[in-house]
Amino acid sequence: MSTSDLAAGGQDATTLAAARAAAKAKAQRRAALLRQVLRWHWISAAICLIGMLLFAVTGITLNHAGSIPASPHTIERSAALPRDLIAVLREAEAEGAPPPEPVRAWVRQEMKVRLPADVAAEWSPGELYLALPRPGGDAWMSLDTATGDVLYERTDRGPIAYLNDLHKGRNTGTAWSWFLDIFALGCVVFCITGLILLQLHAHARKSTWPLVGLGLIIPLLLALLFIH
Which domains, and CATH codes, for the chain?
A: 20-70+166-207 (no CATH), 73-156 (3.30.160)
Give 41-77 pLDDT, tens digit per residue. Answer: 999 999 999 999 999 999 999 999 888 887 899 999 9
Looking at per-residue pLDDT, the higher value among 3 and 101 belongs to 101
Residues 205-213: what's their mean pLDDT? 90
Q: How confident is the model at residue 11 (pLDDT cuts 50, 70, 90)?
A: low
Is the separation of the CB atoms in 87 and 70 below 8 Å?
A: no
| Among the listed residues 168, 190, 171, 189, the one whose alpha carbon sits nearest the alpha carbon of residue 180 | 168
Least confident interval from 14-18, 73-77, 86-90, 108-112: 14-18
Q: For 213-223, how does the pLDDT look when each residue is reduced to its tens digit (9 = 90+)? A: 999 999 999 99
Q: In Å, how far from its chain's centre is CA 3?
A: 74
What is the percent of the chain with per-residue pLDDT over 90, rounded to a whole number? 70
Average pLDDT over residues 14-34: 78
> What is residue 227's three-state secondary structure?
coil
**What pLDDT is stored for residue 25 in this prediction?**
77
Helix (H, G, I), strand (E, B) or coil at 64: coil
Q: What percent of the chain has pLDDT over 70?
A: 94
Label the pairing between strands 73-80 and 121-124: unpaired
pLDDT band at 118; cut points 50, 70, 90: confident
In this predicted model, what pLDDT tens digit does every residue of 157-173 receive, in sequence order?
999 999 999 999 999 98
Grade residue 6 by pLDDT with cuts at 50, 70 and 90: very low
pLDDT tens-digit series, residues 133-155: 999 999 999 999 999 999 999 99
Residue (of 170, 105, 108) closest to 133 by Cα position? 170
Q: What amino acid is encoded at 163 in this protein?
A: L
Distance CA 169, CA 154 (A): 19
Beta-bridge partner residues of 141? 130, 152
- pLDDT at residue number 24: 77
Please give the pLDDT value at position 80: 95
Picking from 89, 72, 76, 70, the residue whose alpha carbon sits closest to that of residue 140 is: 76
